[in-house]
Amino acid sequence: MYVSELHILNFRIFESLKLSLNPGLNVLVGENNSGKTALIDAVRLTLDTNSAEWTRIVESDFQNSSDTFSIKLKFDGITPDQARTFVEHLTHEERAKGVRHSVLYVTLTARRTEVIKRGRRLIRTELRSGINGDGPAIEREIRDYLSSTYLKPLRDAEAELSSGRGSRLAQILSSSKYFKRDGVHFETLLKGLIEASSEAKSNQGLKDNRSDIDRYVKELTFNTDKFDLSIQMLGSQEFDTLNSLERERAFQDILQRLSLVLDESKPMQGLGYSNILFMATELILLEQEKSDFPLLLIEEPEAHLHPQLQMKLLKFIRDTYSDNNSATFQAILTTHSPNLASKAPLESMILVSNGVAFPLTKSETLLDPEDYVFLEKFLDVTKSNLFFAKSVLIVEGDGENILLPTISNLLGRPLEDYGVSVVNVGNTAYTRYAKIFLRRAVLNGSTSKMPIRVACLRDIDLWPEAADSAVNYDVGFKTLKSRNKHFWLPRSGSDGVTFGTAAVDKKKSLQSFEVLHEEEKLTLDDLQNTQVFVSDEWTFEYCLIRSGLAEDIYDLVKGEDDPAFAGLPADPELRAIKIYGLIESSSLKTDVAYRLSQKLIEDYSDADGKDRLLDKMPAYIKAAIAYVTEPFSTPPVVEATATAAGSGGE
């Protein structure tokens, strides 16, 4: 049995939401204030939890001016035993023609009344079954059966595992299968402690202290007050003389005196290991309830855990919960950790943004099955930042990865101020990463686009004829071969036959995703909030040289025997090829990008640096930066194809 669907109306950030959940693991990711905690709390308020955490509905739970909200949970996978428990609450639905199955709907409805008490409007709640929430009221016993295990963020695990009234450790041990009230462990524990307490009660030190206290009590009370002072211990009665209520009270008294530590020789342990210990005890209890309804809600399990422990925790959760076909546990967790996100199965993830939840299952995204395999292998900690971004800039090289944050900052668009993640995916996989943000249902006219803007920066990778070393040996460094003819701009060979690829055709190809929808490739218009920005010439670095940074870059790459900048060819194309050839032939290509980043900071951080650099930036780079941040005060003039790519950000 598991929660298969969550429906929300007017609860906090969610105006209207229908979310399908996996039977096993569900990982909620997204930026702060996107709605992740609200989803967890929606389940908590509807089902209650078996933690000591107190929950109640408050004014801020209602969205805007609405006086009513509702949360509906649909339970599927109900066993025959569970069906008998919920028999009067079940709804029978047709799964396939002639095939019916039983599901359980539980709807929490909250209404603000006009009654004011102690300065607050009273809130009336109802918990009912039925697909429309108009079935029989859910009894307390049913709600207790459906209660979940909740681990809050930044919990005080040490306090939870310490002795005392209300101790979570006491609650867990009390519910343990090893302490059945008619079992041998229960009886042995009580008998042993009763005997030990009886012996302790005869200790002369205790007797003397009791006498001293009794003497002071008599001094402080009236003669007519009759007290018979005693120190209460378990040994006051024999086990066999205790009734079931007294035995239970004695058992709880014992449990509330227990605490749990990892290592007796090291009684002081850090918050991280205290949290691990606390989670371990909760998971044990959950495992014992797997024949009932074992639902685990965890907020930010990475709290107080260093990255390696985060990985260990996620591996355990993944191994336990990720098989959705045979999962006996269901878990819903939230995280802000790229470490955890990089190790979670992609299909288990639900990206939450601006009050909308987007499951990343195969039926919802435009990812192909082989894309899931690829991404789970290569979606590392660095790339997993994309799940927590407001916008994403996908690049295909170290140069862009290093230089774009610097350029954006100097142009007055610091990427960190706009919540932009730069993701370097190499030059072959950009479509796989971009398709994470493309929704299948949008192409069919339903549901909403992901509000996260994704800009893919691509090199056109077409070589000018002057780059051919056989044509222009002074600057050329490329060699024409039969297998690379498609990399050249259109030109005639020695045999007079024209070959190569037209720039307009290459751009159109790069701006069409390798995704078939209704037997046609997606085009620029189908890409929702994902846009492709293609360089006008060759590569990112070549465009920087051509657009005005030639001298800045040449100063970084020229060798001792190379001429001064003034000695380079006067023709802009030949000069750019010469400089770019020095970069391409260098074994320190990444180092050049780092040094150029520093040089740009030194040369363009003054009062007019922004305008000077803006004038020297290639149009497609300006368009991409504007798309993931906001338009520049004077929108960049870009050619038609780039304008189409950047239109969503203007």
- 173-213 pLDDT per residue, tens: 777 778 888 888 888 888 888 878 777 777 888 888 888 88
Which residue's structure tokens are 């601006």? 354
> What's the CA gap between 414 and 416, in Å, rounded?
6
> What's the CA gap between 637 and 618, in Å, rounded?
10
Between helices 619-628 and 398-410, what is the axis angle to 10°?
A: 70
The secondary structure of residue 123, as a DSSP letter, is E
Task: Tell me the pLDDT tens digit for each residue of 277-316.
Answer: 777 777 777 777 666 778 889 999 887 788 888 888 888 8
pLDDT of 637 higher than 60? no
Lowest mean pLDDT among 10-24, 254-268, 287-301, 367-381: 254-268
Domains and CATH numbers, the chain: 2-159+272-353 (3.40.50.300), 162-259 (no CATH), 362-460+503-540+607-650 (no CATH)
Q: CB count, 10 Å around CB of 222?
A: 7
Which residue's structure tokens are 């007055």? 412
Task: Tell me the pLDDT tens digit for each residue of 476-496.
Answer: 999 999 899 999 999 988 788
Band of the pLDDT at 159, cuts 50, 70, 90? low
pLDDT value of residue 99: 82
Task: Tell me the pLDDT tens digit for each residue of 606-623.
Answer: 999 999 999 999 999 999
Closest CA to 621 of 442, 359, 400, 338: 400
Which residue's structure tokens are 């035995």? 247
Which residue's structure tokens are 């409805």? 109
Band of the pLDDT at 103, cuts 50, 70, 90? very high
The listed range with the strongest mean pLDDT (439-453, 533-547, 548-562) is: 533-547
Average confidence (pLDDT) over 101-107:
95
Q: Are strands 68-76 and 2-11 parallel, antiparallel or unpaired?
A: antiparallel
> What's the CA gap between 339 and 360, in Å, rounded?
18
Band of the pLDDT at 602, cuts 50, 70, 90? very high
Closest CA to 402 of 597, 199, 141, 112: 597
Please compute, for residue 547, the number of CA atoms within 13 A of its CA located in the half-sphere on the CB side: 21
